[in-house]
């Protein structure tokens, strides 16, 4: 195949839209030591809606004792202004959480089970098999009232067990689909993925799920987050989780740092000619306000450095 044909095919891919699901107010805030006040969460979610997100993971209906940072999930859902065309997602761990999400009028619920047994026991207090069996009860609870996404956590490796076989990941995805879920997420929960691994696994999962139902969730623990996005995109994936400012991490895995940064991802996409439909200037402004909310600096880079054109603005037009 000639270089010109390869470049043309890549350019065709670059014309496709890259969809970003914002997860800062759930995955980001869940591990913060300082409780972000409910009105501030609502204000931030409304601002994210206004910035153009089609999907926002708002909060999680878990036990307040387990995750006190998200104890106000119902209040946040009831306080936000819902933008037409935006899907507001809640993570739920069990049927009781699903009932609370339904009462809060979440548009979608997200279920999570780790491919790794060790990580799932640390995170959920049970085996992956027990978690997936519990998903069947949740599917009965929601009875088609909302869409359901199921996440395969540690899909690209576990800090306790090491690499997870691809066939094991595919088997879990197939179990999810057999339950009747609407979407599937492959999560690099602790930032162990590399681009070649990502491309290989995405190529195997896409024929089962389809690009419109597959989400990739990357962490930047070892600096490969955006490279993994590109590898997944070129393999056919189109939807990615990201967190404003690069907030987040896994509380059950040592050394796991934040999610890929939303504004960094959107900036990279824009520079490459990819459409996200998001207001990057608004995202930068929101990210620069995050230290006030969480009480510490955040790892995102674009909010610190500015957009490339901020440094080299276009010269003024000469008068005719």
Q: Would you call 102 helix, strand, or coil by DSSP?
A: helix
Residue-level length of the chain? 320
Examine the residue annotation and report whether 158 is marked as an active-site residue of this protein. no
Contact 247, 258 (CB under 8 A): yes
- CB count within 10 Å of CB 48 equals 24
Q: Would you call 211 helix, strand, or coil by DSSP?
A: coil
CA distance 118 to 134: 18
Q: Would you call 138 helix, strand, or coil by DSSP?
A: helix
CA distance 126 to 128: 7
Locate 225 and state its tokens: 């987050």
User: Could you tell me the CA-to-CA distances from 278 to 45, 265, 270, 274 in Å, in that order?
Assistant: 14, 11, 10, 11
CA distance 159 to 151: 18
Which residue in 158, 224, 250, 261 is the catalytic one?
A: 250
Contact 287, 263 (CB under 8 A): yes
User: Which of 137, 207, 140, 201 has the alpha carbon at shortest distance from 169?
Assistant: 201
Give the CA angle between residues 27, 32, 36 to the nearest 5°: 95
Locate 64 and state its tokens: 């307040």
CA distance 219 to 258: 6
The helix, strand and coil proportions of the chain, stated in percent and rounded to the nearest 5, come to 45, 15, 35
Would you name the residues annotated as active-site residues?
Answer: 250
């Amino acid at each position: 195949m000639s270089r010109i044909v390869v470049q043309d095919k890549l350019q065709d891919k670059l014309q496709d839209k890259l969809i970003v699901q914002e997860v800062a107010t759930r995955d980001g805030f869940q591990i913060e030591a300082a409780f972000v006040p409910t009105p501030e969460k609502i204000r931030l979610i409304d601002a994210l809606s206004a910035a153009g997100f089609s999907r926002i993971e708002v909060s999680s209906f878990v036990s307040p004792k387990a995750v006190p940072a998200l104890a106000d999930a119902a209040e946040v859902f009831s306080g936000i202004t819902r933008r037409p065309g935006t899907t507001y997602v809640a993570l739920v761990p069990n049927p009781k959480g699903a009932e609370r999400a339904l009462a809060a009028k979440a548009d979608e619920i997200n279920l999570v089970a780790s491919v790794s047994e060790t990580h799932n026991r640390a995170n959920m207090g049970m085996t992956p098999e027990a978690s997936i069996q519990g998903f069947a009860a949740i599917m009965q609870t929601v009875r088609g009232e909302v869409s359901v996404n199921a996440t395969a956590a540690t899909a690209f490796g576990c800090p306790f067990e090491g690499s997870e076989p691809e066939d094991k990941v595919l088997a879990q995805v197939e179990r999810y689909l057999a339950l009747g879920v609407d979407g599937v997420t492959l999560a690099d929960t602790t930032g162990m993925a590399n681009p070649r691994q990502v491309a290989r696994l995405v190529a195997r999962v896409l024929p089962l799920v389809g690009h419109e139902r597959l989400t990739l969730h990357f962490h930047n623990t070892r600096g490969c987050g955006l490279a993994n996005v590109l590898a997944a995109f070129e393999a056919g994936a189109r939807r990615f989780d990201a967190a404003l400012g690069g907030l987040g991490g896994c509380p059950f895995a040592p050394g796991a740092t934040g999610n890929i940064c939303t504004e960094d991802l959107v900036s990279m996409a824009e520079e490459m000619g990819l459409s996200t439909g998001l207001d990057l200037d608004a995202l930068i402004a929101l990210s620069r306000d995050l230290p006030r909310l969480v009480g510490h600096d955040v790892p995102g880079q674009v909010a610190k450095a500015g957009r490339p054109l901020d440094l080299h603005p276009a010269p003024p037009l000469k008068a005719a």
